[in-house]
Structure 1
Amino acid sequence: MNQKEQDISLFQRYLSLWVLLCMVAGVLIGRFIPVFPVILGKMQIAGISIPMAALIWVMIYPMMIKVDFKSIREAGKNPKGLFITWITNWLIKPFTMYGIASFFLFVIFKGFIAPELATQYLAGAVLLGAAPCTAMVFVWSRLTNGNPAYTVVQVATNDLIILVAFVPIVKFLLGVSNVTVPYSTLFLSVFLFVVIPLAAGVVTRNLVIARKGERYLGNVFVHKFDNATTVGLLLTLILIFTSQAEVILSYPLHILLIAVPLIIQTFFIFAIAYGASKAVGLPFDIAAPAGMIGASNFFELAVAVAVALFGTQSPAALATTVGVLTEVPVMLTLVKFANKTKAWFD
């Protein structure tokens, strides 16, 4: 093992420690350099952070280089992974989120949370549950060596379903009549996190193959970005916890209480999709992303809708913010679990 491989191995081995340090660093920056989160808050378009968008590009660009359109066409010939994704995200996830969050907020934690607050927290949880992830799925897929072309199809079809299913599900579960989808957030997210990086990846792929050949692309070029995804994730964590430092320090107990059902829901949904993929005989590189799509959330959409419905300072908006805070650490845990259980699919 050469020095570079040793450094990468050491980096990955202590990833949990780096994650914790980045979370603490983010809170400290937000607390003692308050101008920083203010600047971050202004660098947004339709509720999407531009610095975070740039980091997500860094994380998913290497995966998009691996995508070729022949593989995308082949995805339709093996639709089991798509069916699992759709069923998990739209027929199971929003309703289990409602049930699990209700149980904890109104029963287990009733001595700590007033009923009025619990109702608003439940609303935020439901908004998260009805908004499956778009951008970060590509990161989790890359970290599990998922099938890049199939993941693109899973995400793209999921985004189309959001257009027709999000509002009816939220209205049904919350009884709120004036739910509107911020389409600017939805379409911008798809454009930023699917269209642009996919186009960049395809152009890069074709250029490298034309000049150096496909073997060079797979054996040399893509490995130049081996650490980019992990470094991008850690920097994303710092940005998230910097921007939310005031919330974390102001409501520490309620954040912990809200996080419990959200984390349980995440593991539960992953188990359903991952287990179903194993049951129907899907390969690991399709099963892992299928589990990740259901487990993670489109938090930009959830936060935007919570703010529009209940206000910026509302408890519902706080609950969606907790979803942002728990997303990366919890999903990294699932990535680690998936990689350790890859042999189940061999």
Structure 2
Amino acid sequence: MKQHAAHLGEHLRQRLFFYASGAIALGWVMGANFPEAASAHTRALGWIMNALVFLMIYPMMIGLNLAQLPKALKQPRPLLLTLFYNFVITPALSYALVQAMAAPPELALGFYLVMLIPGASMAIAFTGMAGGSIEVATLAQAVGFLVVPFALPFFMHWAGQSQAMSVPLASLVTTVVLVLILPMALGDVTRRALVRRFGPAVLMRIKPFLGVIPALTMLVVMALIFFSKGAMLAQNWQMLLPLMVATLAFLLIILALMTWLNRRMGLSYAEHMAVAFVSSGKNNATAIAIAISTAGFGPMVAVPAATLPMFQAVLLVGYVHLADRLRRYYAQAA
């Protein structure tokens, strides 16, 4: 069973673009052709998506080892750079791209939301594939997850003001607690209980499932999001084009900036790859969860997070293929 889950996880990673595109297309076509079904079952769809949210987030949090955080003090530079990219550069770059794409307010808000949640579920896997530091990637991802619950409400309040939209701050904070902090606490308790009961080796046995379950659940949620708004998106598909261009531009710019600046800041190749994948890869599953669980946010806020995997998977896989060139580039600075 473990081997099947591992093979399935690798299969999904390598072909995520196609599966994400297929999930979006399926939901979109069904929603466009059966709009009455989508509108008649809005409440049921909400309950289903909220249940699926837990299946996305909880397994990821079991895989997050918060006990490693004290090690961060021994190698602060990569982690400080990760925080700089995620919570200084990313908001500034996102603001510039939102202004350039002139998207509807809900889509713009959704773009801010997904960009402000770092640590894609595939980031550590990509780091390992490229020969980067798994330890740095794991620590950076854990630190990012701890900062997000405090930074996100502030940034989203600012984003709402920039779009002349009222962000339901109380509801957003409640959602952050339910979607991030509570699963993080439950995940840590579960992780410790499993280790006490079955020994540390159990984590390696269940690791493939912790990746596959969120990935499969995310595809279902993506289909449901586009199903719920299929008719409207079919009539206004043009508004998605600037969003796609902005997403592509963000990933290209942030990867290019990190490649240059990390070398200038004295990071090794292994450290750079960890920082690059954790900072450029966004946790769209968590963004989707927050978007659909926050009262006052419509389904359109989740659309940017649902479309992100198509570009993110392709560009990050492409960056893995540049590993040899990047290794030589960083060796020149040594």
Return the TM-score normalized by structure 2: 0.71
Aligned position for 2:170: 184
Q: Identify the residue that residue 197 of structure 1 maps to in structure 2.
A: 183
- Please give the alpha-carbon distance, in whole angstroms, between the structure 1 residues aligned to 2:292 and 2:260: 30
Map 1:117-266 onto structure 2 (within 5 A): 118=102, 121=103, 127-128=109-110, 130-131=112-113, 133=115, 137=119, 139-141=121-123, 144=126, 147-168=137-158, 171=161, 180-218=166-204, 220-266=205-251
Q: CA deviation at 1:245?
A: 0.8
**Alpha-carbon distance between aligned partners in 2 of 1:300 and 1:3, rounded to the nearest angstrom:** 29
Equivalent in the alignment of 1:110: none
Deviations 1:187-214 (A, max 9, x none): 2332233222222322222222122211
Question: In structure 1, what is the Cα distance between the partners aligned to 2:237 and 2:121?
Answer: 29
CA distance in 1, matches of 2:290, 2:10: 36
1:229 alignment partner AA: P
- 1:96 equivalent to 2:93? Answer yes
1:55–1:223 Cα change, 3 Å:
same
Instruction: For structure 1, list consecutive stretches of 5 or more residues without a partner in the other structure.
Output: 106-117
Question: Do the aligned partners of 1:8 and 1:227 also contact (CA within 8 Å) in 2?
Answer: yes
What is the 5 A alignment of 1:1-346?
Answer: 4=4, 10=11, 12-38=13-39, 41-42=42-43, 50-103=47-100, 105=101, 118=102, 121=103, 127-128=109-110, 130-131=112-113, 133=115, 137=119, 139-141=121-123, 144=126, 147-168=137-158, 171=161, 180-218=166-204, 220-273=205-258, 276-277=261-262, 280=265, 281=267, 282=271, 284-293=273-282, 298=287, 323-341=304-322, 344=326
Paired residue for 2:130?
none
1:99–1:230 CA distance, 2 compared to 1 (3 A): closer
Does structure 1 conserve the Cα–Cα contact (< 8 Å) formed by 2:254 and 2:280?
yes
Describe the shift of the 1:274–1:304 C-alpha distance in structure 2 as closer, same or farther (beyond 3 A): farther
Q: RCO greater where, 1 or 2, for CA within 8 Å and sep 6 or more?
A: 2
The letter for the 1-side match of 2:121 is V
| 1:337/1:200 CA distance change after superposition, 3 Å | farther
What SS class does the counterpart of residue 139 from structure 1 fall into?
coil
Pairwise CA distance, 1:10: 5.0
Structure 2: 5+ residue stretches without partners: 128-133
Cα distance per residue 1:34-68 (max 9 Å; x no partner): 35533664368xxxx55444434333433322333
